A = this chain, B = another copy of it.
Amino acid sequence: MAGNSFGQLFRITTAGESHGPGNVVIIDGVPPGLQLSVDDLIPDLQRRRPGQSKVTTQRQEADEPEILSGVFDGRTTGTSIAVLIRNQDQRSKDYSDIKDKYRPGHADYTFDAKYGFRDYRGGGRSSARETSVRVAAGAVAKKLLTEACGVNIVGYVKQIGELVADVEQPESVTLEQVESNIVRCPDADMATRMIELIEQMRKEEDSIGGVSELVATNVPAGWGEPVFDKLKADLGKAMFSLPAVLGVEYGAGFGVATARGSENNDVFEQGDQSGTIQTQTNRHGGMLGGISSGMPIVMRCAIKPTSSLSREQPTVTRDGEPTTIATKGRHDPCLLPRFVPMGEAMMAIVLADHYLRHRAQNGG
């Protein structure tokens, strides 16, 4: 299937597994003339890579990207851009444990059910290593969006367990605030408590879930399609395509269930700049009828606690025999800190796609 591609005009196609030679992405549709080098890809890859801090997995991967095509004399040529990230820290461990057992919460069983067998080395294609090249592609999308339209995308950790960050204005959070701590929470006090909680989880051989908030500012009004390819629909798919995401909402989100129309509707008003229109509040999360309104786009993703645990968990073998399994060593006790660049990347890829789609039909 074309299940390894995403996007219509800004389109990425990926391949690669956790323990194969590496992961590769082909990025199609990038306009010509964009300044681009590996240096543009490295910062977000560093934010995503394993082994970056004490709250993440200790697998060590440099995640050094190689641009194979599509860039000449420091600029994109308009042809397809391929980026390769080779795997490095593929421990020659004994996989017999997960070869014949189904890890709870993982795709082991469903891959077997689908394909009849699976690459059992560290999750194979279902490993989060696959997201490395999404982040590389997202960095290209971000650069395009920033240079062409001034769009800015920032994600952060909003909640881990019961700890909820105090973020009054999502659209005001800066990358610097987010990167000021290893958990990527702009509320510094709460960040400290979150780090403690994650460390506690590791000690208890357990894991914890959370919520990440993603914000895009300066998106012009008018992006998105009115029916199936609503901007919220493509963003929703993008987020659900990331591992461990069990819920996605934007604007008032699930809060609308108990809201009345009279209180939920955002009131239109003249904008600060002459001739512009904005809303007084942003419960609509920057999208109306699936099309951007010019207000900040604000989404939240619910991330489940890591399924891999160091402690013993009951499960079955391929034959259905009861057994137990424990994942020794290298996994994240909480997925949230490393999710942030992944969520940003997917948001950027969707927005870049709709930027080009809007330009195709509406000419600018």
Contact = CB atoms under 8 A, between A and B. Distances in A.
Nearest to A207: B261
Contacts of A2: 5, 8-9, 11, 28-29, 229
Interface stretch (A54-62, A177-185, A247-255): A247-255
A228 B241 CA distance: 5
A17 B13 CA distance: 18
Contacts of A235: 240
- How many copies of this chain? 4
A361 B302 CA distance: 31
A-B residue pairs, 9 tightest by C-beta: A107-B289, A3-B225, A247-B249, A360-B360, A207-B261, A237-B237, A113-B221, A15-B82, A110-B291
A6 interface: yes
Interface residues of A, number: 157
A229 to B, nearest CB: 4
Given A227-B130, A246-B254, A288 B107 contact: yes
B26 A24 contact: yes
Given A249-B302, A253-B247, A257-B210, A4 B79 contact: yes
Interface string A47-82: 000000000000000000011111010010111111
A316 B269 contact: yes
23 contacts: A1-B28, A3-B28, A4-B228, A9-B361, A20-B69, A33-B115, A78-B361, A104-B268, A109-B277, A113-B293, A115-B362, A116-B362, A206-B261, A236-B248, A237-B240, A243-B289, A246-B250, A247-B250, A249-B249, A261-B305, A268-B315, A275-B320, A356-B361
